[in-house]
Structure 1
Amino acid sequence: MTVAKSILLFGFAALLEIGGAWLVWQGVREHRGWIWIGLGVAALGAYGFVATLQPDANFGRILAAYGGVFVAGSLVWAMAMDGFRPDRWDISGALLCLIGVGVIMYAPR
């Protein structure tokens, strides 16, 4: 159950961080205004709290692993929200990152 909880927390953290950054981007770059920026900043702040809920107690390990989740999640977000179509190298890179997440977080110790 701990691995499942960890994976769910990584997914929720990705939603908050990527979504928050996207909202700030929309507010600034697409001139959608301060409400979008404020919601983005709030989501980014919430991401910081969600990361602390990971079962592993090592900040560096969690943040390093989350980097791989962020890479893959960013591509998925861009596909869903911006119509981005990743090429085979984007997909290959994201899969390598997710393999790294698995090794960092879930390898036997």
Structure 2
Amino acid sequence: MKTVSVYVCAALAEIAGCFAFWAWLRLGKSAWWLLPGLTSLIAFAVLLTLVESAAAGRAYAPYGGIYIVASLAWLWTVEHARPDRWDITGAGVCLFGAAIILWGPRL
């Protein structure tokens, strides 16, 4: 369960950091938005190192599924745009794939 919590926190940190750049470049916000954005992206990178995995790629791959779901949650809660059925279906497929990578038996 620790791994899932780390992934969720990492996803929120990455999305918030990237959104700060989006706000600066696309929404005309002040360049000061970059300071918390960079801090958030550093936190994201550090958080992913906490995942119990012998290989970085195997830690990052299942994170992708969590990131997709977190992005849709951000879309809904922060940007007030409701995900449609294709968003939800795609996220479900990605989570299924992430679960296989994360919890699949290793030989």
Q: TM-score range by the shorter chain?
A: over 0.9
One of 42, 55, 65 as aligned partner of 1:58: 55
Q: Are the counterparts in 1 of residues 52 and 59 from structure 2 also a CA contact under 8 Å?
A: no
Distance 1:50 1:23 in 2: 19
Please give the per-residue CA displacement for 1:31-80, whole angstroms capped at 9, x wherever unaligned: 11112122112211211111000011211111111111111111111101
Correspondence for 1:20: 17
Distance 1:96 1:76 in 2: 16
Gaps of 5+ in 2: none
Q: Percent identity?
A: 38
Distance 2:97 2:70 in 1: 14
Q: Secondary structure at the match of 1:54?
A: coil
Q: Are the counterparts in 1 of residues 20 and 34 from structure 2 also a CA contact under 8 Å?
A: yes
- Superposition CA RMSD, Å: 1.0
Structure-1-length-normalised TM-score: 0.91
1:36 matched to 2:37? The reply is no
Distance 2:32 2:54 in 1: 35
Q: Give every structure 1 segment of 4 or more consecutive aligned residues whose post-TM-superposition deviation is greater than 6 Å.
A: none
Q: Are the counterparts in 2 of residues 28 and 37 from structure 1 also a CA contact under 8 Å?
A: no
2:26 corresponds to which letter in structure 1? Answer: R
Correspondence for 2:95: 98
Distance 1:86 1:69 in 2: 15
